[in-house]
Homo-oligomer: A and B are copies of this chain.
Amino acid sequence: MIIVLRSGVSEETVDAVIARVESLGFAAHLSRGTHRTIIGLIGDEDPAIVGRMKSIEGVAEVLPVLPPYKLASREAHPQDSVVNVSGVKIGGGFLGMIAGPCSVEEPERMDRIAQAVKASGANLLRGGAYKPRTSPYAFQGQGEDGLKILRDVGQKYGLPVVTEVTDPRNVDVVCRYADMLQVGARNMQNFVLLTEVGRTNRPVLLKRGMSATITDLLMSAEYVLSQGNANVVLCERGIKSFDPSTRNLFDVAAVPQVKQLSHLPIIVDPSHATGVPSLIPPCAMAGLAAGADGVHIEVHDCPAEAKSDGPQALLPTQYTDLMAQLRQLAQLLGKQLAA
């Protein structure tokens, strides 16, 4: 940690700052510059300590040197983590291709969509049973009934299933049916929920919040990891921006950034990132080319009838075409797309 003192502080203030930081357990190393005096601190950086340092009289700025996450950092775990979702590997060269409708709807529709995405090469099936909707009047999902439909269809086609959990009281029931728990963007900083999913041993798909920095995302992963659950896959799904022409802004650079800072796998979700079907294929290609460990796509056989988020879904035939392109690109990049 580095402390920058205000310009023109007195000798007494400098001494008082040093005494204070030493009382907090740090060794202090003073550098007097032409215009400013700085103090290098030697000891363990702790986010709470950074806050307190800032409030010491005479301190202008406190600059942390280490990232605030530990378990999630690449320094702590130099090799890529590979997360195993009931036999499907994500990370370390293995691609997780997640597809399915926004919400679980009728069993027949779920079956048709699962059959189609399986045939196109998806290896994980998604579908929402508990839906976080901005309107209290919108369809909120079918709950446990939806979970059953999803699990049954997944088993029929040999596809492990991913579904969102939104309530800490529902983590148990979702674990009974799902192979992977999704924490949605709006809950990325729902620390109560992160702690609960961290207490399970189920793989977690953690979606980036719409205004979360890369550091925020890795801190939320750290919550899960710190509870003992090491099976975290991150997901870039678009952030807020000033241009209303797309629903969100797809931050493709988040993929290599996360890969450099962390050992955790990261996939991309161009469906939510753009909200525009015609932009999904080029953004999926971009995500894979940037190094993503998988692609999450919403697929629906009749978007105009979907109970939620129809407009951003691909048709099964569009998904087939996209998967053909992605498979070629994966091959060029030396990545494996599990059969």
Contacts and interface: CB of A to CB of B under 8 A. Distances in A.
Interface string A123-159: 0000000001111111100000000000000000000
A191 B34 contact: no
Contacts of A255: 282, 286
A41 interface: yes
Nearest to A36: B65
Contacts of A279: 253, 256-257
A206 interface: no
A55 to B, nearest CB: 4
A199 interface: no
B289 A138 contact: no
A337 interface: no
Interface in A316-339: 328-329, 332
A82 to B, nearest CB: 20
A310 B54 contact: yes
A93 interface: no
Contact of A40 (B33, B290, B328): B33
Interface stretch (A111-119, A172-180, A235-243): A235-243
A196 to B, nearest CB: 9
Given A33-B41, A46-B137, A308 B253 contact: no
Given A137-B226, A250-B252, A43 B48 contact: no
Number of copies: 4
Interface residues of A, number: 108
A198 to B, nearest CB: 8
A81 interface: no
Interface string A22-39: 000000010111111010
Contacts of A42: 31-34
A232 interface: no
A2 interface: yes
A96 interface: no
Nearest to A48: B138
Contact of A190 (B187, B227, B273): B187
Contacts of A38: 2, 40, 65
A260 interface: yes
Interface of A: 2, 4, 7, 20, 29, 31-36, 38, 40-44, 46-48, 51-57, 63, 65-66, 68-69, 75, 132-139, 166-169, 186-187, 189-192, 195, 209-211, 213-216, 219-220, 222-223, 226-227, 239-246, 249-253, 255-257, 260, 273-274, 278-279, 282-283, 285-291, 303-311, 313, 328-329, 332
Given A239-B242, A253-B282, A253-B286, 16 more contacts: A2-B4, A36-B66, A38-B65, A48-B135, A51-B309, A52-B306, A135-B219, A186-B189, A190-B190, A209-B211, A250-B252, A252-B286, A253-B274, A256-B278, A256-B279, A286-B287
